[in-house]
Amino acid sequence: MAARALLSELPGYSKLQALAETLRAASIDRLFAEDPHRARDFTLAAAGLKLDYSKHLLTREALAGLLELARESRLQTDIESLFDGAHINNTEDRPALHTLLRASSSHGMDARFEQVVASRALMQQWSERLNDGRQTGFSGATITDVVNIGIGGSDLGPRLVSEALRPFHGNVGCHYVANVDPADLQDTLLELDPGSTLFIVCSKSFRTEETLTNSVAARNWLLNAGAVESDLHKHFLAVTSNLPAAAEFGIPAANCLPMWDWVGGRYSVWSAIGLSCAIAIGWARFEDFLAGARAMDEHFHGSPPEASMPLLLGLLEVWYSNFFDAGNHVVLPYDNGLQRLPDFLQQLTMESNGKGVSADGRALPYTTGPVLWGSAGTMGQHSFHQLLHQGTRLCPADFVLPLTTHTGMQEQHRRLVANCLAQSRTLMVGRSPEAARQTLLQRGLGEAEASRLAPHLAMSGNRPNSMITMDCVNPRTLGALLALYEHRTFCSARLWGINPFDQWGVELGKEIGTEILARLSGEAGSGAMDPSTERLMREWRDAACDD
């Protein structure tokens, strides 16, 4: 079979390079003036979300060119393969079936769907048992708090969902421990009572150092508080695909919920990995969360390319990465509950698309996944937005804006919305040196001083940004939002020719970490390491001995 053409080998690529060249100096404001329907036509609605992509360095011609590129790269076929359960994760010879986790029917994958349905039933049982106060601990007290112990995909998704949906929480407290730094566990346990705390060990592999270390420490915390070994089943659940390892740790099969190799960690919040969320918000709302994602799946699967929100966002990511050299992408949720969204998206996008070879192992001659960063508005306005407005780097931005608040504080929320819209518009329009000079003159400065300061107040504008809005953050819109970014990541990956579902790049660090831990524990290693690492190990040993 002929090797698939890489993005830069497609006929549409060089055409887009030429178009990008002309757009580099374009004024987005002028694009609005020249095209009266731009604001109307460069918007899309799907699954309770709205995307306004009109404030981009994009003309109708460039958009058509990008859609042509998607066609040439056979993206639509890849989308079919994703939903059909083809082994699209080719380096691990597996499908990537996160969409089946939120499906309402089997889509021809009966055996797997039965597993999903059975797992949902288990999640529902545990969620209801905890919310009804039927689960008791070693002292006979009702379990009031759950602690999710996991890391990466076994932490970031559940933590984000739980925080974002806090207005929907019931009575069970929900906590998250991820870091192997003992302070993470210690700080969390400080506010908890061992008799009424249940741990959910979330680890697909049940081999992850941080999760196992924290789980052992949690077990010791219970034993030190008076629990005995035979009580531990009252305090531990596991979500894993490695039942023998969970059993060896002491978690009986009846307390284990399944995970499968056909779900990637960063795509797993829809599975039993999301159990802590299902407990926090209750089962019915967790089902709404799945339904929101399903609505986005249906939109993605069923829409023509030009009407597909994830596909357009993927094209825009490629547009700025490959044609404008933007090495980063900033995500700005104007909602305090969504402040973990950038963290979640970092793993989703950077573990998926931080790769330098194509799915068939060829070195890629172009840049791939950008650095994703961001934080909740308005905090960033008083720190890094300076760079967004006047820095020399291009930072394409996504604003995420719920139009209403759960707080009931409409007046204050209006301020938040005003800030968000102002930032989006300011990035686009900027301020010319002459406008800056006039502003200074109006403030009463003399001609000379106004001319001296004008370059410092001038802003180039034309800094592209998308606006994603929703009525409010609720289980459905949040499900749709996360699924939107999953599919956007997939589209970008396939345009770049990447397999987004493996993560071989994390392996070597783990291996060297094991070697260094052995050396720090006094074992002889297989040989000397580099002089810098040897010296740092000596320094740690000296400091630890002084303790």
Binding residues for ligand F6P (CB under 6 A): 151-154, 203-205, 208, 211, 265-266, 351, 503, 506
Determine the residue with CB nearest ligand F6P.
Answer: 265
Q: Give the helix/strand (H/E) hosting 371.
A: strand 371-373
Q: Is 351 a catalytic residue?
A: yes
Q: Is 438 within 8 Å of 252 (Cβ atoms)?
A: no
Residues pairing with 373 in the sheet: 330
SS3 236: strand
The least CB distance from residue 200 to ligand F6P, in Å, is: 12
Angstrom CA distances, 352 to 99, 164, 180, 489, stand at 16, 23, 23, 7
Amino acid at 202: C
Q: Which of 37, 382, 411, 511 is catalytic?
A: 382
CA angle 331, 335, 337 (to 5 degrees): 105
Integer Cα distance of 393 and 387 in angstroms: 8
Q: Which residues of 479-518 are buried (b: 16+ CB within 10 A; e: fewer)?
A: bbbbbbbbbbbbbbbbbbbbbbbbbeeeeeeeeeeeebee
Identity of the residue, 266 or 389, whose beta carbon is nearer to ligand F6P in the bound complex: 266
Q: Do residues 389 and 426 lie in contact, with contact meaning Cβ atoms separated by under 8 Å?
A: yes
Q: Which of residues 154 and 424 has its CB atom nearest to ligand F6P in the complex?
A: 154
Q: 241 or 460: whose CB is closer to ligand F6P? A: 241
- Smallest distance, Å, CB 506 to ligand F6P? 4
Question: Which of 21, 510, 534, 539 is flagged as catalytic?
Answer: 510
| DSSP code of residue 448 | H
Q: Which residues of 328-354 are buried (b: 16+ CB within 10 A; e: fewer)?
A: bbbbbbbbbbbbbbbbbbbbbbbbbbb
Q: Which is nearer to ligand F6P, 227 or 345 (CB)?
A: 345
**C-beta of 108: minimal distance to ligand F6P in Å?**
28
- Cα separation, 261 vs 488, in Å, equals 22
Give 269 or 316: the residue with its C-beta nearer to ligand F6P. 269
CB of 48 to ligand F6P, least distance (A): 27
Catalytic residue among 163, 210, 317, 351: 351
Give the nearest distance from C-beta 509 to ligand F6P in angstroms: 9
Long-range contacts of 249-256 (CB under 8 A, 24+ apart): 249/201, 249/206, 249/212, 249/215, 250/219, 251/201
Residue 411 annotated in active site: no
Provide, rounded to whole angstroms, the least separation between the CB of residue 214 and ligand F6P.
Answer: 11
What is the C-alpha R_g of the chain? 26
Question: Which residues belong to the active site?
Answer: 351, 382, 510
